[in-house]
Structure formats: structure tokens, C-alpha cells
Amino acid sequence: MKIAGVDEVGIGCLAGPLVAAAVIIGKNKSEYLFRDSKKTSQKNREIQAKYIKKNFYVGIGVASPHEIDKLNVLKASHLAMVRAIENLPVIPDKIIIDGIYIPEGLKHAEAIVKGDEHHQEIAAASIIAKSFRDQLMLNYAKEYRGYFFEKNKGYPTKDHKNAINYLGFSNIHRKSFKI
């Protein structure tokens, strides 16, 4: 049975896209025990992300800051999840999602609270989503200097908030979020 684990990152950020990933491990055995990306060091995330992309089926979905502002963050996260599933190279038999909600229209899906602690597919998806988004934010840091995206990845740190107060919003900031 092809089970796709799905997770997202970037919900609480003030800038940048929301990214979701879907991973199907299938019958392959992993040499790693995956954990939630927030509980994994950056170095290990990068190593594991390369391993996951090489050995498993991966799909990534993105919701832009504009889509987040237009839809709201929950609906945008569901949009990114659906896109991630649609971008898988194979169709899953079942979908397991970290959280409490299932995106509208998804069939054969189950939401699991703390799913990344119980299912390797979800933990692997968390690692892929975070690795992908972090790289995007590093790229944005070169384009939008002064916001410290290389350090804060768009999260509402004191330095980031100060930069917004001084520089204003960039094109990748979520205008609907309160600073």
C-alpha cells in the first residue's frame, strides 16, 4: 500500500510561502529514523532530505504569500498540501496528514495529531518541507537584504520585526498578518 505522509511548514511566518510536502516511503526501508523537522538539526535535515529525495517518492506544494493573504493561512496550507499530493510521481492509496484537518476534497485521507511522532512518512514530509522552505528563504535573503531571512526564515523574531518597521514590507511579506 502506498501511504503518503503530508506535513507543512511556515504557518507562523510573517514572510515567504507556506510549503507542504508529501512523501511515500512504500516498502523501502530507511537507514534513518525520521523525526519532526523542528526536532532535527539543520545539518541532519539536509542529509536526510537528500536521502529522502533519492530513495522515496516526494511531492512539494507551495502557497504564495499572496494566496495566504487572499485565502487565510489554514486554507492556504490545505492548498499547498493538495498541490504536494498532486506533485507526487505516483498516486497514493492512503494519505495521512499531520494535524486535525483534512483539506476539502481529499479522499482516503486521515488527519493525525502529532502524526510526525508516529508515522515516518509524515516526519519525512516535515523534513522535506522545511529543507525546501529554508532554501527558498536563503535565496530571498540575497534578494531582500536587511530582513535577516537567512537567520529568521521569515518567523517573527525581534530583528525581523525591527527590519519591517524600518524597511516596510517586502513583496514576500504576508500583508494580512499582524506585526
Q: What is the tens place of the pLDDT at every residue in 114-163?
A: 998 999 999 999 999 999 999 999 999 999 999 999 999 999 999 999 99
Residues 6+ apart with CB under 8 A from 176: 68, 69, 72
Determine the structural domain holding residue 16 and report its residue range: 3-167
Does residue 175 belong to any structural domain of this protein? no
22 pLDDT higher than 80:
yes
Number of domains, the chain: 1
Does residue 57 belong to any structural domain of this protein? yes
- Whole-angstrom Cα distance, residue 3 to residue 173? 34
Does residue 173 belong to any structural domain of this protein? no
20 pLDDT higher than 80:
yes
pLDDT at 40: 73
- Whole-angstrom Cα distance, residue 23 to residue 122? 7
pLDDT at 72: 96
pLDDT at 32: 63
pLDDT at 179: 75
Does residue 138 belong to any structural domain of this protein? yes
CATH of the domain at 18: 3.30.420.10
Q: How far is CA 159 from CA 81, 150, 177, 179, in A?
A: 30, 12, 17, 12
pTM of the model: 0.94
- The number of residues in the chain equals 179
